Structure 1
Amino acid sequence: MIRKRLFHSLLGLLLAATMLAGCSMGVEPPKENESPPPKAGAEGGTLVVARMSDATNLDPHFISTINAASVVHQKVYEGLVKRDANMVIAPQLALSWRQVNDLVWEFKLRQGVFFHDGTPFDAAAVKKTLDRVMDPKTASPRAAMFDKIKEVKIIDPYTVQFLLEKPFAPLLSILASHEGSIISPKAIDEYGRELSAHPVGTGPFLFRSWEPGRQIVLDKNPHYWGDQPKLDRVVFRVVADDTKRIALVENGEAHVAESIPVQDIERLSASNRLRVYRSEALGTEFIGFNVAAGPLRDLRVRQAISSAIETGAIIKGVYNNVGTQANSPLGPKVFGYSPSVKSYPYDLNKARELLAKAGYPNGFSIRMLTYDRNDRVTVAQVIRSQLKGIGIDARLEVVSYADFVTQIEKTRTHEIFVSGWGNATGDADYNQYNLFHTQGGGAGNSFQYSNPELDRLLDAGRVETDPAKRLAIYAKAQELELRDALLVPIRNLENLAVISTDIQGFSI
């Protein structure tokens, strides 16, 4: 929805991923002074991933898109902690951690780990990385994620403490995200703002090359501290055209194609050369209301619009049943999601009644904004058609993504908007605080909503350390957001890709 939000699916290449013997490699011949790509086998070989678009930045402190994060996160870079396959926080570069008190977190670090440039991983590397992202001179767009940390304190070479300004329950979820990547201190000094072109972490893959707009290549790290990757090389190839991207997998020139059109699922599922991969993602899509704009100031109007939109028809007709019915701004895999929250049921008679009570028995005209992504435009067109049923003329305006961001963040001229939110940390705070808090939301609060009761809940969710109590807090918050009809949840996002039958052990 806005720059700091992460959209689409996050590609996870498991260390266990293998290629069956005999699969073809779609990598071009090596350039002069480069070694040839490894041959395929039961293990090893080169995995070619065809993607819709290129990364924009590979510096964890400046990454703002999934395309970038998915190249380096958990591959080139690692964090103190990570999320496992069940979304549970697990050790990574930190062996253990504890809360000394509400304001002090202590991490015991793994020994014998080295960055790709040979620099030892230790407490000094952790401090240097965190100091960099928090330094105003760095001007990192991710700095706000760490603004509760007052100081990173070295206790001994393999023990570090985070001293907080105030209690902050989502800390581990942020450290597990790409923002929490630990960077080689030598690389920080050597490359500075050019670090994007020279990623140096501790992960299972080494950065090899980046040809912008074309491909990024990673090689196996032979000195990795953990389980060795079963792949020798990974190539992320940029192929913007959907048909060409899928054809590369069908022809054996690539092994994975991300972001496939939903209308192609049946055809692709029938192929004996590939399989369609689907898994639940973290984000949601929704129709949002600027509650400070015209008729939308009236709760009854927002309730009427909510009651006039048949989201099930959108999921079936636009998305070919990819994704599930959303009931909340949070997806089911995000900590804090409440399955008991209910959005307004589809009821045209109720919608007309609410509009009449609000003083609009004959409806009105309103502007509906989205950006030039095909599925979002189609959703907006369906919504426009549905709202005609209650007399509302939703004039559709499709703009570039940059203009969309400008309108909902800066000029605030939007009314109804069709958008979404991808959760980068797996914790409710990431969505809730950015989207709905009066002060903390800032530019992210495109709903222009301010409610002291909700602010108190979201503040409480940040400091409460008891998981059960946090769940209860966020359940109340979601109930309030839906009660006040700030948005119409459409669907919970789903990761979608096609994978060659030669590949095993792949997941997103």
Structure 2
Amino acid sequence: MTARTVRGAAAVTLATALTAAAAACSAPSQGGTGGTGAADSAVVGIASEPETLSPLLGYGKDGNSKIFDGLLTHDADMKLKPALAAALPEVSADGLTYTYRLRKGVKFSDGAPFGAKDVVFTYRTILDPGTNNPSRTELDAIGGVEAQGEDTVVFRLKYPYAPFAERTVLPIAPEHLAGRQDVNTGAFTTAPVGTGPYVLTAWSKGEKLSFKANPGYWGGEPAVKKFTMVVIKDDDVRATRLRSGELDAAILPPNLAKGFAGDKGRRTFAAKTFDYRTVTLPTHHPVTGDTAVRQALDVAVDRGAMVKGLLDGAGKPAYGPVPTDSPWFTAGTERTHDLGKARKILDDAGWKPGEDGIRTKDGVRASFPLWYTSGDKIRQDHALAFASDARKAGIEVKTEAGTWEVIEPRMKTDAVLAGGGSPADPDFDQYLLLTSSLGGDGFNNMAWYDNPAVDRALEDGRRSGDPASRKAAYDTVQRELVKNPGYVFLTHIDHLYVVNDKWTGTSTQVEPHDHGLGSGPWWNVETWKPKK
């Protein structure tokens, strides 16, 4: 939700306490192989696709991009490890200088050598205001980046940004190709070349992306030679095509994944995530902009019932962007479902029930639309449950389905069933979600949330290198969201995948909201091996 590549859609300190918690549970079965049936080929069903394949425009910024590599990458436990860098960075005592020594002998898939100039080109291009990268503010800490010879890159920061190393999982683009064309519209945006384990062979937008193994990959040629990602927005259709054998794997909502529980030839993976579902409460709407309405909705929703009834237990209640089992979560900010409290808040604020039970105040009816994306059953179910809970408090929520092209122009005044979440560091998601300066900036701060105390805390959390100070800053953010919720957070969702059991090495990581190409059991497809 924080960038256009997320449509469909990682601290070196506290976040390292997170575990992958990738619960892989074998399902008993009837057999059945999917896709091509060949162990050296994998066909997976995903729910959305990116708008671009250029890292200069935001693609793959959180890693696992298949076509590209970053300086660093994550292992199964979300710990940083070297990729294009030969080692983790050397960090100066003041936290302002990061030096990366690069891996030698790496080539792009077109045979051109990779070097420091490509790293400098990538970061400088993203930071250029003329580049249409919606996530540019994520690199705000960078004051400069320079090459020292062919195999050393030095980043100089404007302030000691604690999770900076996490930002360097960002994919590196080749200067010799991307630097010779328009960064926003050139051919590189749809036909990229990288150093990664796979090479893009075709992209039929709205249908599929096809890849082949890169024989010159510095990590060794993958055993899965052909990899195809089929874009299927409708959950039911994705499940049907998996069952018919057209797919080797797919992401599915809990109720559909449960239908494969008797299949011995497939495994179900439950990936723990930071992925939340939330309702935006735009400040520019006369109802959702009212603080009392926001507070009432925040306690009127029955989050526990949503986890149990909508997710089949595959998730947890959400009270903000941080999951309750994260070390960043602020204890005491949980909100209990309390319909009586919700009604009292509205009564005290002058919102009086009408004959039909819907409240009014100063001639304004407590009614507003709530949009969700067509074909997304999880969002639809959350929207309907939210509307039902809101009505019990006297607020009318009219649910509407549409594509992002329909929804986006309405986001300033209309509520949206949105998603987000990043496990790497609280800055990664919260800054884009809540800072007032990004209100209305595409999918950033969709609610136009404006809270000076939150703005100050977000800056403190971003600019401090001290873990305790950062924890205090994000505690402030979470407490302020209780006082004035610009969003009603509903659930954190576990991602469920059903995968044909014909490879070794399949697993999951703790996942962000943006999943599909980069996340899922295929996050490490380049290391899979056919079962003997």
Q: TM-score category by the smaller chain?
A: 0.7 to 0.9
Q: Give, in angstroms, the shift of residue 476 of structure 1.
A: 2.2
Which runs of 5 or more residues in structure 2 are unaligned? 11-19, 23-30, 354-358, 361-365, 509-519, 521-532
3-state DSSP class of the match of 2:342? helix
Name the structure 1 match of 2:42.
47
Tell whether the 8 Å contact from 2:4 to 2:51 is kept in structure 1 after alignment: no
Task: Determine the structure 1 residue equivalent to 2:417.
Answer: 418
| Sequence identity percentage | 27
Which residue of 250, 260, 271 maps to 1:257? 250
CA drift of 1:126 comes to: 1.0
Return the offset for 1:235: 1.8
Change (3 A) 1:61 1:332: farther
In the alignment, what sits opposite 1:439?
A: 437
Out of 331, 334, 349, which is 1:343 matched to? 334
Change (3 A) 1:8 1:85: farther
Q: 1:82 to 1:239 in 2, by over 3 A?
A: same
CA distance in 2, matches of 1:49, 1:350: 46
Distance 1:303 1:343, change over 3 A: farther
* 2:396 alignment partner, one of 365, 368, 393: 393
Aligned partner of 2:373 in structure 1 is: 372
Q: Counterpart of 1:181 in 2: which secondary structure?
A: coil
2:6–2:50 contact (8 Å) kept in structure 1: no
- The alpha-carbon deviation at position 78 of structure 1 amounts to 0.6
CA positional deviation for 1:321: 2.7
User: CA offset at residue 25 of structure 1?
Assistant: 7.4
Equivalent residue, structure 2, for 1:451: 451
Contact kept in structure 2, 1:58 and 1:69, CA below 8 Å: no
TM-fit CA distance, 1:299: 3.4
Q: What is residue 384 of structure 2 aligned with on the other side?
A: 381
- Provide the rounded CA distance (Å) in 1 between the counterparts of 2:470 and 2:220: 35
Shift of 1:499: 0.8
AA partner of residue 228 (structure 2): V
Which of 299, 302, 325 is the equivalent residue of 2:294? 302
Aligned-residue offset at 1:492: 0.8
Mapping for residues 238-249 of structure 1, pairs under 5 Å: 238-240=231-233, 242-249=235-242
1:238-273 Cα shifts (integer Å, max 9, x gaps): 445545533444344431123x24322332112223
Amino acid at match of 1:346: H
Equivalence map 1:14-29=2 (5 Å):
26-27=35-36
After superposing the two structures, state which structure 1 stretch, 386-395 or 105-114, moved more.
386-395
Matches of 1:295 and 1:244 in 2, distance apart?
A: 37
Q: By how many angstroms is 1:194 displaced? A: 0.7
What is the RMSD of the two structures over their aligned residues, measured on CA atoms? 3.1
1:217 lines up with 2:215 in the alignment: no
What does residue 112 of structure 1 align with?
105
CA distance in 2, matches of 1:449, 1:9: 20
Contact 1:333 1:426 in 2 (8 A): no
Structure 2 CA distance for aligned equivalents of residues 475 and 87 of structure 1: 23
Q: Return 337-346 or 472-481, whichever deviates more.
A: 337-346
1:187 aligned residue: 177
Q: Which residue of 2 aligns with 1:173?
A: 166
1:56-79 deviations in Å (ceiling 9; x for gaps): 321112246xxx779x93422010
> Per-residue deviation at 1:351?
1.8
Shift of 1:111: 1.5
Distance in 2 separating the partners of 1:446 and 1:54: 21
- Paired with 2:396 and 2:493, the residues of 1 have a C-alpha distance of 28
Question: What do residues 360-409 of structure 1 show as CA deviations (whole Å, max 9, x unaligned)?
Answer: 2423322032133343233222222222222223333444322322222x
Q: Distance in 1 between matches of 2:74 and 2:502?
A: 27
C-alpha distance 468-84 of structure 1, shift in aligned 2 (>3 A): farther
CA contact (8 A) 2:146 2:155 kept: yes
User: For residue 155 of structure 1, what is the aligned residue in structure 2?
Assistant: 148
Query: Hey, what does 2:13 align to over in structure 1?
Result: none
Equivalent position of 1:56 in the other structure: 51
Residues of 2 paired with 1:93 and 1:400: CA distance? 38
- Structure 2 CA distance for partners of 1:202 and 1:302, relative to 1, 3 Å: same
Report the residue type matching 2:168 in the other structure. Answer: L
- Tell me the distance in 1 between the aligned counterparts of 2:8 and 2:325: 15
Structure 1: distance between partners of 2:142 and 2:445: 24
What are the residue-to-residue correspondences of 1:282-361 with 2, within 5 Å? 282-291=274-283, 293-331=285-323, 337-338=328-329, 340-361=331-352
Give the CA deviation at 1:460: 0.9
**CA–CA distance in 1 between the matches of 2:448 and 2:126?**
29
TM superposition shift of 1:216: 2.4
- Pick closer, same or farther for the CA change 1:262–1:405 going to 2, 3 Å: same
CA distance in 2, matches of 1:206, 1:417: 36
- 8 Å Cα contact 1:249-1:274 kept in structure 2: no
C-alpha contact (below 8 Å) 2:383/2:399 kept by paired residues: yes
Out of 123, 132, 143, which is 1:130 matched to?
Answer: 123
> How many aligned residue pairs are there?
471
Counterpart position of 2:428: 430
Distance in 2, matches of 1:170 and 1:8, equals 27
Offset of residue 448 of structure 1: 3.2
User: Given the superposition, is the C-alpha separation of residues 391 and 48 from structure 1 closer, same or farther in structure 2, using an over 3 Å criterion?
Assistant: closer
Cα distance change on mapping 1:254 and 1:448 into 2, 3 Å? closer
Aligned pair partner of 1:272 in 264, 268, 285: 264
Q: How far does residue 457 in structure 1 lie from its aligned partner after superposition?
A: 1.1
Q: Confirm or deny: 8 A CA contact 2:7 2:48 kept in the other structure.
A: no
1:283 touches 1:420 (CA, 8 Å); kept in 2? yes
Counterpart AA for 1:303: Q
C-alpha contact 2:371 2:401 (8 A) present in aligned 1: yes
C-alpha distance 227-442 of structure 1, shift in aligned 2 (>3 A): same
Report what 2:516 is aligned to: none
| Cα distance in 1, alignment partners of residues 449 and 146 from structure 2 | 38
> Under a length normalisation based on structure 2, what TM-score does the superposition of the two structures give?
0.79
| Contact 2:253–2:378, Cα closer than 8 Å, also in 1 | no
> How far is 1:350 from its partner?
1.6
Q: SS of 1:58's equivalent? A: coil
Partner of 1:92: 83
Q: Distance in 2 between matches of 1:442 and 1:431?
A: 16
Distance 2:451 2:138 in 1: 23
3-state DSSP of counterpart to 1:315: helix
Q: Distance in 2 between matches of 1:252 and 1:377?
A: 27
